[in-house]
Structure 1
Amino acid sequence: MRQDRGRAWLLLCGLLCGFAGQATERPADYAWQLPLSLTGEGPWYRLELPMAAHLAARHADLRDLRVFNGEGEALAYALVRSPAQETLHEHEVRWFALYDEAEDLADSPGLRVRRSASGTLIELLETQLVAQPAALRGWLLDASAVEQPLARLRLDWSSEQEGFQHFRIEASDDLRTWRPWGQGQLARLSFADERIEQRQVELPGRRARYLRLLWQSPRQAPQLTAARLFSRPRDSLSLPLVWSEPLPAQRAAGGAYQWQLPLALPLERIRIELGPDNSLAPVRVSGRGGGQGRWRPLGSGLLYRVTEPGGELRQDELALAGAAVQQLRLEVDERGGGLGGAPYLRLGLRATVLVFLQRGSPPYRLVLGNPDAASAALSPHSLIPGFSPERLERLDTAELEPGAALQATAPEGGAPAWRRWGLWALLLLGVGLLALMAVSLLRRTRTPESGA
């Protein structure tokens, strides 16, 4: 009797161990993989996930993402994301006119710069207000009171000045040494009884005491009426945007253009590829989760690509509301000349950083595309003791191997589906065998009692 019970337990343990062994995840359970190469000593590595990974996943929250080593072991990992709502602080700043062609601020007419132990004082000379030089070259913004990294600039100017504004942005901490911070573009146009404005410029998210805006097209700067800077808290995590490859449009009813995504994603920006000729098109963008739901407005603005003697003016991006959408629709006001044909669209998504703990030997692979996978991600603080945004920047990097593209591991829904059904069959078979053994044991136990 004891031998029979022992055999039953051994069989049960064997079935459970076999089931557990079969349930261990393997790279073949996932439809897509990307080969990785590691740089540095580790043991933690970070990778900014490309847009291709988001589009290949079966879940927008990336619960079906794993990292495997050469032995086929799944590695511990975490996903680091920017906050859903970014916190920016608004600051009104003082501005000072820059006249003529003076590149050195200390030589700019109309300005006197005095430095002392208590700081820098900028004065606007009254004599220059009476007799201004010929041309207004640009503006100096005093950001010395802002202690946080600068993320955005918003300007307003006198209402009678319309058209495009193109200027160079430079930053300084001492008013003598200037470093480039990119280009800015503003626009104010009257179109079809509407006024379309672009007053905002994104900044690189670094600290600076002064900003210098030098106009390039037109050479004469407009008269400012307001200047605001937006700063980001030092301890906040701000990740860049990742962009998709160009996606072709489908013509929809009413002359609109439409795109279908593989899954709903929280898009922050889109970029429309404009034609080579001069283009000017007011547009509206709407989206929905999929199916036949209602279209929700996501954003609107003016897209343009205009060639001038001094260079090209281009605005081909639109900021969206960040809502998760699977379908996008673009409506173009053709009175502006249109886009010159069906446009291509690039999707902009706030980056997600993958952090994993290296173990085992290469090759290391990032895999995606299992519809039944549950999230295995740890919190960043559990994976890395003392985690912080600063420490994230100091981690060694994992990169996609040169020329790497998504590789199919197995036909999607093929090997994982077969294995899933096999596991269920094995489980049911084990339960059936256990039931038969239990009945047999009960019968054997009752037989001696009835004989007695």
Structure 2
Amino acid sequence: MSGLIGVRGWLLAWLALVAPLALGQENLGDYAVQVPLSLSGEGPWYRLELPMAVHLAARHADLRDLRVFNGDGEAQAYALIQGGARERETQQDSAVKWFPLRGPLHAEQSPGVRVRRSSGGTLVEVLDDDAPHAAEEVLRGWLLDTSGIEAPLHQLILDWSAEREGFQRFSIEASDDLQHWRAWGEGQIARLSFADERIDQREVRLPGQSARYLRLLWSSPRQAPQLLSARLLSGGGDRPAALSWSADLSPSSAKAGEYRWDLPLALPLQRVRVELAEANTLAPVSVTGRREGKVQWQPLARGLLYRLPQDGQEVLQDELELHGVPVQQLRLRVDERGGGLGSAAPSIRVGIRATQLVFLARGAPPYVLATGKATGSAANLPLSTLIPGYDDQRLAALGVATAAPLLEATAGTGQAPGRDWQRLGLWAVLLAGVGLLLLMAWSLLRARPSAS
């Protein structure tokens, strides 16, 4: 009996020593794609904006097979900041009052305004002080009273009378006293109908600053529409989520009015950008998607894509919202009554929410980002664990890592993914040891009757 217990003890000791070597060791050679990293700024923590090419090269959409190794082949501690985590903050949707700004058609100066308020604080009158009242006076734009919104302004949403179709371009100016105005760029809204499709582009992005008044002045005053509503989205930190875009993707199949693209894995796509190679293009389109192995196509988006001249400039609408639905195959159908998208098959770019990787640099450089391991399991830490006392300000001050273009990345050891001969050798030693111990135990058990 004591001999058998001794054999069992040797067996457990052997497993304790050899199994961690075979099972727990991260090996750079297991990863099919290896991308060199260059570091700048102050460490030891570095943050990296993951290129879309890394997402496409991974074997898992949740990046569980992502690692960072140092020059000695040691895996580094890291955290992932998933895209959109900081953008989903509370936002306020506020309806505001609007007032017409009238003036001479060919006036070079912007209309001056004067505001009078009642005891309740309501804006009751807007006058044009600088322009004389004349027969050629036209509607040149609109004044929005945003004084009731204290938070930064991020998006303007307009609605206007139905008889006005086409593109509407205007400049945006902001003021706190109606005397001094600062430029906030330009806005464009559109209402187009074609065949059985209609597109309303009513949202205009704002710079995320506060203002008591907004002034919208139309580039072509005769085209200024009658507003029906004006709303503003505001919030302390609300802003559009940053996207990571792919390179141009060519279709895997193409026929008249229908194109299909196959991705390496299912990704939660937020937007798709369709190449409009030819000018004067107008095409209603629909986008559907599905995962690998699924027969049914799922509707994702419908819209009107265009590349058209307007007031001496070119207006372009080449993107569609996909809302983060995970798909591996995309299909674009084009209504050929609009002339299609041209003679050549279009390429597309797809965008997903940007993801940051933060790692703690330990050991000797160079550092390598690795992915593409089929049996990968998640190893990322919470950011608060990786960086004690973490906050947004500290994150912005971290050193920066930059990934080399994926086409220039090293391809590893040249072995197939998962074919690591060192690990296979450890497994062989482990199995041989177990077999030897089992043989010894069997021999002891057979020897017991003769010994008695």
Shorter-normalised TM range: 0.7 to 0.9
For 2:317, the aligned partner's letter is Q
Q: Is the 8 A contact 2:22 2:423 kept in 1?
A: no
| Stretch of structure 1 that moved more, 402-411 or 241-250 | 402-411
Q: Does 1:134 align with 2:147?
A: no
Q: For 1:181 and 1:140, locate their aligned partners in 2 and report how far apart those are by CA, in whole Å.
A: 14
| Stretch of structure 1 that moved more, 167-176 or 298-307 | 167-176
Q: Deviations over 1:238-266 (max 9, x none)?
A: 64111100111244567311110000000
1:353 matched residue in structure 2: 356
Where structure 2 has 5 or more consecutive residues not aligned to the other structure, the ranges are: none
Aligned match of 1:379 in 382, 391, 407? 382
Q: Deviations over 1:200-226 (max 9, x none)?
A: 233454555544434336774322211
Q: Deviations over 1:90-140 (max 9, x none)?
A: 111233434457788xx623x21589xx99979513999987873433334
Q: Deviations over 1:164-219 (max 9, x none)?
A: 12334445556566555554322112222543322123345455554443433677
**Paired residues for 1:159-178 under 5 Å:** 159-171=162-174
Q: For 2:174 and 2:429, locate their aligned partners in 1 and report how far apart those are by CA, in whole Å.
A: 67
Q: For 1:327 and 1:20, locate their aligned partners in 2 and report how far apart those are by CA, in whole Å.
A: 40
Q: For 2:4 and 2:13, locate their aligned partners in 1 and report how far apart those are by CA, in whole Å.
A: 14
Q: For 1:207 and 1:38, locate their aligned partners in 2 and report how far apart those are by CA, in whole Å.
A: 37
| Stretch of structure 1 that moved more, 213-222 or 3-12 | 3-12
2:316 matched residue in structure 1: 314
Q: For 1:38 and 1:119, locate their aligned partners in 2 and report how far apart those are by CA, in whole Å.
A: 55
Q: Does 1:366 align with 2:356?
A: no
TM-fit CA distance, 1:18: 3.9
TM-fit CA distance, 1:382: 1.8
Q: Is the 8 A contact 2:373 2:417 kept in 1?
A: no
**Paired residues for 1:115-194 under 5 Å:** 123-125=125-127, 134-171=137-174, 181-194=184-197
Would the alpha carbon gap of residues 313 and 266 (structure 1) be closer, same or farther in structure 2, given more than 3 Å must change?
same
Where structure 1 has 5 or more consecutive residues not aligned to the other structure, the ranges are: none
For 1:76, the aligned partner's letter is A
1:261 matched residue in structure 2: 263
Alignment coverage as a number of residue pairs: 443
| Stretch of structure 1 that moved more, 254-263 or 129-138 | 129-138
Q: Is the 8 A contact 2:273 2:350 kept in 1?
A: yes
Q: For 1:60 and 1:148, locate their aligned partners in 2 and report how far apart those are by CA, in whole Å.
A: 36
For 1:201, the aligned partner's letter is V
TM-fit CA distance, 1:400: 2.3
TM-fit CA distance, 1:445: 6.7
Would the alpha carbon gap of residues 28 and 192 (structure 1) be closer, same or farther in structure 2, given more than 3 Å must change?
same
SS at match of 1:42: coil
Q: Does 1:92 align with 2:95?
A: yes
Q: For 1:182 and 1:412, locate their aligned partners in 2 and report how far apart those are by CA, in whole Å.
A: 54
TM-fit CA distance, 1:361: 2.1
TM-fit CA distance, 1:384: 2.0
Q: TM-score, normalised by structure 1?
A: 0.84
SS at match of 1:321: strand
TM-fit CA distance, 1:230: 1.8
Q: Is the 8 A contact 1:30 1:416 kept in 2?
A: no
Q: For 1:120 and 1:69, locate their aligned partners in 2 and report how far apart those are by CA, in whole Å.
A: 64
| Stretch of structure 1 that moved more, 369-378 or 328-337 | 328-337
Would the alpha carbon gap of residues 132 and 398 (structure 1) be closer, same or farther in structure 2, given more than 3 Å must change?
farther
Q: Deviations over 1:324-371 (max 9, x none)?
A: 000111111122221113111000111011111121221111111001
| Stretch of structure 1 that moved more, 313-322 or 392-401 | 392-401
Q: TM-score, normalised by structure 2?
A: 0.84
TM-fit CA distance, 1:413: 3.8
1:42 matched residue in structure 2: 43
Aligned match of 1:339 in 341, 347, 368? 341
Would the alpha carbon gap of residues 213 and 132 (structure 1) be closer, same or farther in structure 2, given more than 3 Å must change?
farther
Q: Does 1:25 align with 2:26?
A: yes
Q: Is the 8 A contact 1:37 1:364 kept in 2?
A: yes
Q: Is the 8 A contact 2:261 2:329 kept in 1?
A: yes
Q: Is the 8 A contact 1:60 1:263 kept in 2?
A: yes
Would the alpha carbon gap of residues 257 and 410 (structure 1) be closer, same or farther in structure 2, given more than 3 Å must change?
farther
For 1:393, the aligned partner's letter is A
Q: Deviations over 1:411-441 (max 9, x none)?
A: 5744546666555544433332232233345
Would the alpha carbon gap of residues 103 and 325 (structure 1) be closer, same or farther in structure 2, given more than 3 Å must change?
farther
Q: Is the 8 A contact 2:197 2:284 kept in 1?
A: no
Q: For 1:126 and 1:171, locate their aligned partners in 2 and report how far apart those are by CA, in whole Å.
A: 17
Would the alpha carbon gap of residues 76 and 114 (structure 1) be closer, same or farther in structure 2, given more than 3 Å must change?
farther
Aligned match of 1:249 in 245, 248, 251? 251
**Paired residues for 1:436-451 under 5 Å:** 436-442=439-445, 450=452
Q: Does 1:68 align with 2:69?
A: yes
Would the alpha carbon gap of residues 161 and 369 (structure 1) be closer, same or farther in structure 2, given more than 3 Å must change?
same
Would the alpha carbon gap of residues 398 and 299 (structure 1) be closer, same or farther in structure 2, given more than 3 Å must change?
same
Q: For 2:99 and 2:154, locate their aligned partners in 1 and report how far apart those are by CA, in whole Å.
A: 21
SS at match of 1:54: helix
Would the alpha carbon gap of residues 237 and 307 (structure 1) be closer, same or farther in structure 2, given more than 3 Å must change?
closer
Q: Does 1:215 align with 2:218?
A: yes
Would the alpha carbon gap of residues 387 and 84 (structure 1) be closer, same or farther in structure 2, given more than 3 Å must change?
closer
Q: Deviations over 1:302-325 (max 9, x none)?
A: 111112343111111111121100
Q: Does 1:228 align with 2:231?
A: yes
| Stretch of structure 1 that moved more, 317-326 or 128-137 | 128-137
Q: For 1:396 and 1:404, locate their aligned partners in 2 and report how far apart those are by CA, in whole Å.
A: 25
- The CA RMSD over aligned residues, in Å, is 3.7
Would the alpha carbon gap of residues 368 and 282 (structure 1) be closer, same or farther in structure 2, given more than 3 Å must change?
same
1:304 matched residue in structure 2: 306
Would the alpha carbon gap of residues 376 and 193 (structure 1) be closer, same or farther in structure 2, given more than 3 Å must change?
closer
| Stretch of structure 1 that moved more, 68-77 or 306-315 | 306-315
SS at match of 2:219: strand
Would the alpha carbon gap of residues 439 and 286 (structure 1) be closer, same or farther in structure 2, given more than 3 Å must change?
same
| Stretch of structure 1 that moved more, 219-228 or 284-293 | 219-228
Q: For 1:162 and 1:224, locate their aligned partners in 2 and report how far apart those are by CA, in whole Å.
A: 13
Q: Is the 8 A contact 2:21 2:426 kept in 1?
A: no
